[in-house]
Amino acid sequence: MKTSGVSLLLGVCVLLLSALTVCAVSLSVSPNLQQFFTAASVSLTCDGQLGSDGWTVKRDTGSGTESCGAGGRSFGRFNGSSCLFNEFEPVSGVYWCEGEAGEKSEEVNITVSDKHVILEIPALPVRTGSHVTLRCKKKTGGTAAAYFYCNGRLVRPKSEKLITINVQQSDEGLYWCAPDEFGSSPQSFLRVRAAIGSLVLLVLVLFVLHLLWKKRTGRYQSAPVNDVTYAEVTSRAWTNKTPASEPEVLYSSLRTNTAEAKGTTDTTEEV
């Protein structure tokens, strides 16, 4: 049981670490933002540890799927493995990478706005424990002091030009900013992912607690051993009442139990 438990632990750890090093193709956004003003220059790239040959960038703006650089319903232009926008069309949508066999990457929501302000927020998921800075960017340039909201609640009690978050899982949600002199920015969802090291540590802690629980409850036992023979020998000697003419006799009673026998055999042997 101990060996199988250790093997299971190692297997889970290998799978978790593999998720960090051998990942599927993902969509990379440069700059790493979800919101843009019109006429912004943006690059979307399909990349991954195993390569991205045969993958293309696609999007859905609510009126059907379009492919980057393709004829007919298309957008942008391909340069190597990247889809480039010389001038971002004023269309918001969901973007992803798709392979020749129909496999898809995680989707990224991109918003193109003509409002006075937009929120600078990462397009890609952020890890717990990392630091993320949010800004309220003005269309005319520069950063506006604003109130920042997450899921309808104020993140800070006062107006600020930027806020930095030490990311925890509870920070995942819908964000926007609202300056005093302008209207609010569009809303975008910040995605949070647990750090892979935290997952491995959690598995180790759970495994140790599991072993301690088995030891405490007496359920952690070695496997039974078959074909074991137990013997009980009882010896008794006669007292001095034995006639002197007779030799001293020692009797022993031997009782043998085996794991396979259903009964008990008693043997009296004269020595």
pLDDT tens for each residue of 56-104: 899 999 988 988 887 666 788 887 778 887 666 657 899 999 988 889 9
pLDDT of 21 higher than 60 = no
Angstrom distance (rounded) from CA 29 to CA 208 = 41
Number of domains present in the structure of the chain: 3
Mean pLDDT of 7-18: 50
100 and 199, same domain (yes or no): yes
Is there a single domain that holds both residue 90 and residue 138?
Answer: no
**What is the pLDDT of the chain when averaged over all its residues?**
76
Closest CA to 174 of 196, 150, 156: 150
Query: What is the structure's pLDDT at 181?
Result: 87
- Does residue 167 share a domain with residue 47? no
> Which of 17-21, 41-45, 169-173 has the lowest average pLDDT?
17-21
Domain that holds residue 20: 1-114+195-223
* Average pLDDT rounded to a whole number, residues 173-197: 92
Query: Which pLDDT belongs to residue 271?
Result: 42
**Alpha-carbon distance 224 to 228, whole Å?**
10
* Backbone CA torsion sign across 163, 168, 169, 170: negative
**pLDDT(15) > 70:** no
Structure confidence at residue 267 as a pLDDT band (50, 70, 90): very low
Please tell me which of 105-109, 227-231, 235-239 the model is most confident about, judged by mean pLDDT: 105-109
- If asked whether residues 248 and 149 sit together in one domain, one would say no
Q: Are residues 213 and 248 in the same domain?
A: no
Q: What percentage of the chain's residues is helix, strand, coil (to nearest 5)?
A: 15, 40, 45
Cβ 145 vs Cβ 162: under 8 Å: no
- Residues 210, 106 share a domain: yes
**Residues with Cβ within 8 Å of residue 117, at least 6 apart in sequence:** 136, 137, 138, 139, 144, 146, 177, 179, 182, 183, 184, 185
At residue 222, what are phi and psi to the nearest 5 degrees? Answer: -75, 160
Q: Is 129 left (phi over 0), alpha (psi -120 to 50) or beta?
A: left
144/204 same-domain check: no
Same structural domain, 13 and 109 = yes
What is the domain-level CATH number for residue 102? 2.60.40.10
- Whether residue 34 is found in the same domain as residue 145: no
102 and 127 share a domain?
no
Same domain (yes/no): 140, 208: no
